[in-house]
């Protein structure tokens, strides 16, 4: 079961329960001109559900390519079950030391560069919001979707698991954006928010972003991007203000 | 490859790939670099042997499974490995956890008590440690600390109290030349070039480019006062066993330098 985000990008939505609050641990499927492309592969925790969803969405064929934002286990744990270790599936990752990242067969994408994968052009962006150093954000030039890995996330309540940002009463809730980034990008306690916002401005100026697709949040539709970014900025200021060096 | 740092503390080393090309060292020719040489950002694990019990801090990467298993066997012999501490579930730090636990069923897994998604990393079982928790190994006692400069939220730092060694994981890493493998910083030729620290932190702790410099440097002052270590044993650099706090102080210049320059590059 997938949820359409844009005409050719679908969300394979999985959640992890934090004592009543949910956090997405998702992946995305793109229907590119020459085949299907997965962005990330999800967690082993949801392996059965993910492989079944991909099987159904691809008519039993499986993906033609897997592009990883980074090697962190919740993003890269299903590469083999989805065929990423076979010659039939092209595996793309950003690390220059793939063997150390557990991805010895991956084709390297350069952060700052572009690749055409299954007939679709992708750009690989140095992310201002991430945890691991080798993370790349991925921009899909077909539908204008920006895949933001660990950035642009949010927690959500039961019953909101399938929501796009516009399905919330007033877009993705500010508190959920704040709580997610506080807990998961711990370094934001030292952030100078204006520096991150300048880099985000540059990215949004360079790329025509029509949707943002986080791995750990509800996808953000074009009409809601300004509201989300305002809330993200406020969340960063709050996280930094709340942490004082003892 | 391993080397004893202090009695009962062993440094287990993995070189990883040569960074000369991906870091464009030949063209940029930084002062510490010598033309034609290979350069590495190592991946290090540490084994603490307290006489009564043994503890391994991190696992090396999946590219070195046989190497870490061999090193542990050589260092603990028939006594077995009592504890495996995973500093954080990043693949190069934790990628051999399962292999080590399979080879050493006697081992207790020790994981960070911080963060909220341990089940996604198979870290929901075992002991969870936070600030001030200790494990007494006999002649050596390790203590755990909230990780200050980190990547994954599920992270922990460690100190060893008798030798006053700080294990700051991803912080204070730096690149080194091929023949400097397993060399202590005080054994390097010439004066240590702080730009090595800039090269590493500008790429790996990429978020240094987005921080409030004064606040970050106040945190470094706090760390110097809190730990005041004799030895610093990073996961991605050479071991510092002399004037350790001077190198911690140097990290304030690293913060300022990264703030004042363009992004030096990615890890590659």
Q: Is A97 in contact with B216 (Cβ distance < 8 A)?
A: no
Best to test chain B binding among A133, A233, A240 (most B CBs inside 10 Å): A133
Q: pTM for the whole thing?
A: 0.96
Once rounded to an integer, what is the mean pLDDT over residues B237-260?
97
Q: Is B91 in contact with A72 (Cβ distance < 8 A)?
A: yes
pLDDT surpassing 80 at residue B268: no
Q: Is A102 in contact with B205 (Cβ distance < 8 A)?
A: no
Residue B191 lies in a domain: yes
Instruction: Quote the pLDDT of residue A14.
Output: 96
Once rounded to an integer, what is the mean pLDDT over residues B137-141?
98
Q: How far is A74 from chain B (nearest CA, A)?
A: 6
Residue B71 lies in a domain: yes
Residue B266 lies in a domain: no
Q: Is B150 in contact with A130 (Cβ distance < 8 A)?
A: no
| Average pLDDT score over chain B | 96
CATH number of the structural domain spanning residue B55: 3.60.15.10
Instruction: Quote the pLDDT of residue A105.
Output: 81
pLDDT in tens, chain A (246 residues): 899 999 999 999 999 998 899 999 999 999 999 999 999 999 999 999 999 999 999 999 999 999 999 999 999 999 999 999 999 999 999 877 778 888 888 888 989 999 999 999 999 999 999 998 889 999 999 999 999 999 999 999 999 999 999 999 999 999 999 999 999 999 999 999 999 999 999 999 999 999 999 999 999 999 999 999 999 999 999 999 999 998
Residue B38 lies in a domain: yes
Please give the full DSSP string across A41-99, using - where no structure is assigned.
Answer: -B-GGGHHHHHHHHHHHTTTS--SEEE-S---HHHHTTTTTTTTTSTTSEEEE--S-TT
Q: How far apart are CA A97 and CA A134, in angstroms?
A: 10
Instruction: Quote the pLDDT of residue B262.
Output: 86
Full 3-state SS string of A84-125: CCCCCCEEEECCCCCCCCCCCCCEECCCCCEEEECCEEEEEE
Polymer length of chain A: 246
Closest CA to B166 of B73, B24, B249, B46: B46
Instruction: Quote the pLDDT of residue A199.
Output: 97
Q: Is A18 in contact with B116 (Cβ distance < 8 A)?
A: yes
Best to test chain B binding among A73, A102, A183 (most B CBs inside 10 Å): A73
Instruction: Quote the pLDDT of residue A223.
Output: 98
pLDDT surpassing 70 at residue B87: yes
Give the count of domains, chain B. Answer: 1
Residue pLDDT, tens place only, B159-194: 999 999 999 999 999 999 999 999 999 999 999 999
Once rounded to an integer, what is the mean pLDDT over residues B91-113?
97
Once rounded to an integer, what is the mean pLDDT over residues B101-120?
96
Q: How far is B17 from chain A (nearest CA, A)?
A: 6
Percent of chain B topping pLDDT 70: 100
Q: Which domain holds residue B147?
A: 2-260
**H/E segment holding residue B91:** helix B91-94
List the beta bridge partners of residue A96. Answer: none
Instruction: Quote the pLDDT of residue A1.
Output: 83
Residues in A whose CB is inside 8 Å of some CB of B read: 16, 18, 23, 25, 43-45, 71-74, 94-97, 99-102, 104, 111-112, 126, 128, 130-134, 183-187, 190-192, 195-196, 199, 240, 245-246
Query: ∠ at Cα B51 (B103, B127), nearest 5°?
Result: 55
Burial of B262 (0-12, 13-18, 19+ CB in 10 A): exposed
Residue A169 CB neighbours (<10 A): 5
Once rounded to an integer, what is the mean pLDDT over residues B13-35?
94
Q: How far is A241 from chain B (nearest CA, A)?
A: 11
Best to test chain A binding among B89, B151, B265 (most A CBs inside 10 Å): B151
Q: Is B115 in contact with A183 (Cβ distance < 8 A)?
A: yes
Q: Is A187 in contact with B150 (Cβ distance < 8 A)?
A: yes
Residues in B whose CB is inside 8 Å of some CB of A read: 14, 16-17, 19, 22, 43, 61-63, 89-92, 95, 115-117, 119-121, 149-153, 155, 203-207, 209-213, 215-216, 218-219, 222, 263, 266-268
CA atoms within 13 A on the CB side of B16: 28
- The CATH class of the A3-242 domain is alpha beta
Residue B268 lies in a domain: no
Between the CA of residue B192 and those of B33, B108, B168, B188, B256, what are the distances in Å? 12, 38, 19, 7, 18
Q: Is B116 in contact with A132 (Cβ distance < 8 A)?
A: no
User: Is the complex ipTM higher than 0.85?
Assistant: yes
Q: Is A16 in contact with B117 (Cβ distance < 8 A)?
A: yes
**DSSP secondary structure code for residue A191 in this structure:** B
């Amino acid at each position: 079961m997938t949820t359409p985000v844009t005409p050719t990008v679908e969300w394979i939505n999985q959640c992890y329960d934090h004592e009543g609050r949910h956090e997405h641990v998702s992946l995305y499927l793109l229907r590119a001109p020459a085949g299907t492309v997965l962005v990330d592969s999800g967690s082993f925790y949801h392996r059965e559900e993910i492989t079944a969803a991909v099987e159904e969405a691809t008519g039993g064929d499986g993906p033609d390519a897997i592009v990883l934002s980074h090697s962190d286990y919740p993003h890269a744990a299903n590469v083999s079950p989805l065929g990423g270790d076979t010659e039939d599936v092209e595996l793309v990752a950003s690390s220059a030391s793939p063997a150390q990242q557990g991805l010895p067969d991956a084709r390297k994408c350069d952060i700052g560069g572009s690749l055409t994968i299954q007939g679709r052009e992708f750009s690989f962006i140095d992310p201002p919001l991430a945890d691991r150093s080798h993370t790349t954000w991925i921009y899909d030039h077909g539908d204008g979707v920006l895949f933001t890995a660990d950035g642009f996330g949010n927690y959500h309540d039961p019953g909101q698991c399938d929501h796009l940002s516009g399905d919330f009463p007033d877009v993705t809730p500010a508190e959920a954006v704040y709580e997610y980034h506080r807990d998961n990008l711990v370094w934001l306690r030292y952030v100078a928010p204006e520096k991150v916002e300048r880099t985000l401005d540059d990215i949004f100026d360079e790329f025509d972003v029509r949707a943002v697709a986080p791995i750990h949040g509800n996808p953000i539709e074009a009409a809601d991007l300004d509201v989300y970014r305002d809330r993200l900025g406020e969340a960063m200021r709050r996280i930094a203000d709340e942490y004082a060096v003892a | 490859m391993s080397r004893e740092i202090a009695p009962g503390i062993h440094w287990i080393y993995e070189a990883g790939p040569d960074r000369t090309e991906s870091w464009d060292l030949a063209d940029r020719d930084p002062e510490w670099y010598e033309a034609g040489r290979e350069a590495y950002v190592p991946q290090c694990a540490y084994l603490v042997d307290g006489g009564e019990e043994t503890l391994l801090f991190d696992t090396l990467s999946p590219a070195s499974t046989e190497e870490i298993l061999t090193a542990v066997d050589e260092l603990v012999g028939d006594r077995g490995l009592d504890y495996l501490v995973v500093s954080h579930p990043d693949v190069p730090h934790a990628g051999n956890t399962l292999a080590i636990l399979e080879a050493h069923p006697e081992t207790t897994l020790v994981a960070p008590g911080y963060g909220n998604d341990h089940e996604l990393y198979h870290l929901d079982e075992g002991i969870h440690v936070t600030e001030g928790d200790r494990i007494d190994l006999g002649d050596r006692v390790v203590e755990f600390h909230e990780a200050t400069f980190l990547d994954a939220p599920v992270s922990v730092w460690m100190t060893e109290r008798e030798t006053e060694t700080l294990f700051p994981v991803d912080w204070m890493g730096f690149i080194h030349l091929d023949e400097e493998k397993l060399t202590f910083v005080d054994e390097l030729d010439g004066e240590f070039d702080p730009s090595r620290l800039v090269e590493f932190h500008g790429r790996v702790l990429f978020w240094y480019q987005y921080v409030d410099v004064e606040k970050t440097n106040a945190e470094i002052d706090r760390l110097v006062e809190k730990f005041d270590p004799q030895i610093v044993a990073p996961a991605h650099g050479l071991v510092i066993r002399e004037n350790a706090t001077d190198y911690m102080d140097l990290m304030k210049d690293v913060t300022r330098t990264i703030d004042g320059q363009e992004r030096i590059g990615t890890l590659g």
